[in-house]
């Protein structure tokens, strides 16, 4: 048995709303087991007999497209990948009184992450950004996660690349849920 974390992009876009309880049933009908959704923003952990994450990705995307007629894309991570990203997040908040959010911008490959960062604006003085394999680690002051130049760049890049951003708290919850399946 293989265990995967699935991160959907665009679960509530263009009038299409994918409810997490419906998504769980849909993925079970697609042949996955032990399906569990977390939060209401397109986070799923599941078990599969399929050893190839790309095959899991194709099956998830096809099931969603078939049910909703909407091409929601997903990023699939196995336990080792998610553990690596969560365990190597490079930023420790400085003790300067500024509250910050830690994010992981997931992409499909290290080359895509490098391309996105290669065209990114410089982070503001209170932001930090660094590539970690196929992820982009990003620290930003609270209240600026939608307005910073980096945030706008990541949003713009989502039209060119499969990109989805999660708070590190969510990543860690997903990892805990994923390990609980095993």
pTM: 0.91
Domain boundaries, the chain: 2-79, 83-167
Give residue 142's Cα distance to chain centre. Answer: 20
Read off the pLDDT of each residue in 177-182 and give the average, rounded to a whole number.
Answer: 90
Nearest to 131 by CA among 145, 151, 111, 160: 111
First to last CA, the chain: 8
* Domain pair 2-79 / 83-167, same fold: yes
Residue 79 in 3-state DSSP?
helix
Which pLDDT belongs to residue 2? 96
Does the domain at 2-79 match CATH 3.30.70.1280? Answer given as yes
Mean pLDDT of the chain: 91
Q: What angle do CA 113, 116, 118 make, to 5 degrees?
A: 105
CATH topology of domain 83-167: Alpha-Beta Plaits (3.30.70)
Which pLDDT belongs to residue 42? 83
């Amino acid at each position: 048995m293989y265990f995967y974390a699935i991160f959907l992009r665009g679960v509530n876009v263009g009038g299409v709303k994918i409810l997490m309880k419906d998504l769980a049933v849909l993925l079970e009908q697609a042949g996955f087991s032990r399906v569990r959704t977390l939060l209401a923003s397109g986070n799923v952990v599941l078990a599969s007999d399929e050893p190839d994450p790309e095959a899991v990705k194709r099956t998830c995307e096809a099931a969603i497209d078939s049910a909703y007629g909407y091409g929601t894309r997903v990023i699939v991570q196995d336990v080792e990948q998610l553990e690596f990203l969560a365990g190597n997040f490079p930023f420790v908040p400085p003790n300067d009184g500024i509250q910050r959010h830690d994010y992981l911008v997931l992409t499909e490959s290290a080359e895509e992450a490098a391309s996105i960062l290669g065209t990114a604006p410089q982070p503001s003085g209170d932001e930090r950004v660094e590539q970690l394999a196929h992820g982009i680690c990003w620290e930003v002051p609270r209240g600026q996660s939608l307005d910073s130049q980096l945030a706008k760049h990541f949003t713009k890049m989502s039209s060119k690349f499969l990109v989805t951003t999660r708070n590190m708290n969510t990543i860690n919850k997903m990892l805990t849920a994923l390990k609980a399946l095993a």
